[in-house]
Structure 1
Amino acid sequence: MTTKTALIIRHVPYEGVAGYRQPIEAAGYDVDRIDVTDPAFSSLDLREPDLLIMMGGPMGVYEQDTHPWIACQMRRLALRLEAGRPTLGVCFGAQMIAAAMGADVYAGPHKEVGFHSVTVHEHVPDSPLRHIASVPVLHWHGDTFSLPDNVELLASSHLYDHQAFRRGPNILALQFHAEMGMDPRFDAWIEQWPESVIEAGGDEASLRAAHDSLGPKAVAAGQGMIAQWLEGLR
């Protein structure tokens, strides 16, 4: 039997697939990872893996002068999306999907950092996001995006309308981090971006306490969401 392949694109070392690895491997995927700093990254055909997962990062899609690999990745991502190949984007990865589909990505008016739930839109009855309805999940971003054409908006928050969307069964974009809540790299996030916590109106002690109390349930809900999405791939 041929093994299905999944490739994780990691934009920074401290943003990995975290809790989503479990349902991806349980669905029968052989998971590999590549950093955008790897010399081999620029020559990869992103249409090849059976599943592509793009994680987060502190950069903006519009910072292509500072990070030339963004434009390179976007061109190859657009080819994959045009082919309808199964693709998951998380936070910066979701913004990359939106931009590759022709949407605008820009700095939003607020930092959204901390644990809170999103409103899962009920007009999509088969939405995998039903698993996270009313479950506080981690948010950590300041950028947002316009909604691409021909997608379904799946969720919003009290700060940002566009929290999740999909195009057909195979392409899913998630602004929030339901993969995080039990991963020690959370400490690196706080150490790397303490100013983001303050700008969002929070403090480090409260965020750490929320992570300890809410994280396990958030990850379990996120794993259920990803498992359902993987089951529906075509």
Structure 2
Amino acid sequence: MPGLAAFLAVLAAQPAPAADFTGTAGAGGVGGSALEVTAGTAFTNALGSVVGGGAGGDGGSGGSGGNDGTVGQGGAGVVMAGNGQTLVNGGLIAGGLDGNGSVGARAVTITGNDNRLELQPGGSFEGEIVATGTDNAFLLGGSSTGEFDNDALRSSLQGFASFQKTDTGTWSLTGSDSQAWTVAQGTLKVAGSVGSATVTGGRIGGTGRLGSLTMGSGRSRLAIRSGR
């Protein structure tokens, strides 16, 4: 069939269509949490130890004219997803970095209720510490001496119902915040300013300022000038 042969010859001579490489690449994976504390348990991160969330994955490269994939977020250092848990940090707890290595995830995420997060001297966090449940408490504990930047309450600590000084050690509060503190044990020295303090045990001192002070009926001691 001459006509068909001629048609096929013309068709074969046509250039092949250009390949389309303009699609968007896939997103990078999200880094995993380093630790999840389950309901009713306690975990202590000792001095010198590091708990860090996993790094996010890098997004894939898009084709010519296409978009690169989004980078994955880093994982939280510790997730407390249950109720009635205790996390004691005397080392470093850090959120993982994203796929670009530039944005850090939360150091601690608390989604349950009635949990206790205790910071001990020598401990630190890298990343936000966010509590979304109810009646979660942030504690300054331990038996030695530590210093806590009170300004971190505004920039890093979010969603906590109470702030407490526990155990026999001495903590100094620097910086300023309007938060209310409860002193149950040991000594709390105010070097900056706080909104209020309630002393149910132990001692409060320093040269800073208090918006208000309440002394309990137990064995409490006062050695501070009230704010003016």
TM-score by length of 2: 0.28
Normalized per residue, the structure richer in strand is 2
Name which one, 1 or 2, has greater alpha-carbon Rg.
Answer: 2
Higher RCO by CA contacts (8 Å cutoff, separation 6 or greater): 1
